[in-house]
Chains A and B, each alone.
Chain A
Amino acid sequence: MASLILSPAEQDFIIRGVEKGFRGDGRGSLDRREVTLRTGMISQANGSARCRIGSLGVGTDILVGVKAEVNTWAAGEPEECGTIVCNVECSPSAAQEFEGRGADEINVELTQLLDRIVGGEQSGLDLRKLCIIPRQAYWVLHIDALVLDVKGGVADALVWATRAALLATKLPRVVVESVTDDSGVARAEFDVVDDAEDQMGLEGARDLPLAATFNQIGRRYVVDASEQEEAVTQAKLTVAVSPKMEICAIQKGGMLKGFAPSLLSEITQTALRIAKEEFARFDALFAEASKHNGELDEEPSTGSTFLEPF
Chain B
Amino acid sequence: MSANIFDRRRVNGPPRSVEPLYTDEGDVKPFTNGGRADGRSLDQLRPIFIKTGPLAVQPTFSPTAPSGSAYYEQGKIRISCAVYGPRQGRKSNPRMGSFDCDFQYAPFSCSWKRRPHIKGADEKEIALILEQAMAPAIRLEAYPKACIDAFVTVIESDGKFATISAAINCISAALADAGIELYDIVAACSMSLNASQWVSDCNQAEEDVSQCSLFVSRMPSADEITYLLQQGKTMPDQTDRAVQTCSNSCARVYAVLSRYLQASMEQPAS
Contacts and interface: CB of A to CB of B under 8 A. Distances in A.
A246 B233 CA distance: 6
Interface in B225-265: 225-236, 239-240, 243-244, 247
Nearest to B219: A258
Contacts of B224: 257-260
A261 interface: yes
A264 B223 CA distance: 12
A257 B137 CA distance: 8
Interface in A228-271: 235, 237, 242, 245-261, 264-265, 268-269
A63 B231 CA distance: 25
Nearest to B217: A258
Task: Give the contact-size bracket for chain B.
Answer: 35 or more
Nearest to B212: A122
Contact of A264 (B132, B219, B225, B234): B225
A188 interface: no
A177 interface: no
A154 B230 CA distance: 19
Contacts of B236: 245-247, 268-269, 272
Contact of B243 (A105, A108, A264, A272): A264
Interface stretch (A109-117, A219-227, A282-290, A301-309): A109-117
A255 B132 contact: yes
Contacts of A100: none
Given A112-B122, A246-B235, A269-B236, A261 B247 contact: yes
Interface stretch (B18-26, B123-131, B169-177, B199-207): B123-131
Contacts of A109: 125, 128
A104 B119 CA distance: 13
A76 interface: yes
A203 to B, nearest CB: 17
B229 A252 contact: yes
Contacts of B233: 122, 242, 246-248
Interface string A122-146: 1000000000000000000000000
A186 B178 CA distance: 67
Contact of B228 (A111, A246, A252, A272): A252
A265 to B, nearest CB: 5
B135 interface: yes
Contacts of A261: 223, 225, 243-244, 247
B122 to A, nearest CB: 7
Interface in B163-220: 212, 214, 218-219
A250 B135 contact: no
A279 to B, nearest CB: 15
Contact of A268 (B99, B113, B124, B239): B239
B243 A265 contact: yes
B159 to A, nearest CB: 17
Given A252-B228, A256-B135, A258-B225, A268 B240 contact: yes
B144 interface: no
Given A242-B233, A246-B234, A249-B231, A76 B132 contact: no
Contacts of A122: 212, 231-233
Nearest to A256: B136
B125 A108 contact: yes
A306 B244 CA distance: 48
A104 B135 CA distance: 20
Contacts of B240: 265, 268
The 4 closest A-B pairs by CB, nearest first: A258-B224, A258-B226, A250-B230, A112-B125
8 contacts: A112-B122, A242-B233, A248-B232, A251-B228, A252-B228, A255-B135, A258-B224, A259-B228
Given A249-B231, A259-B225, A260-B225, 12 more contacts: A105-B128, A109-B125, A112-B121, A245-B235, A245-B236, A247-B233, A252-B228, A255-B131, A256-B135, A258-B227, A261-B223, A269-B236
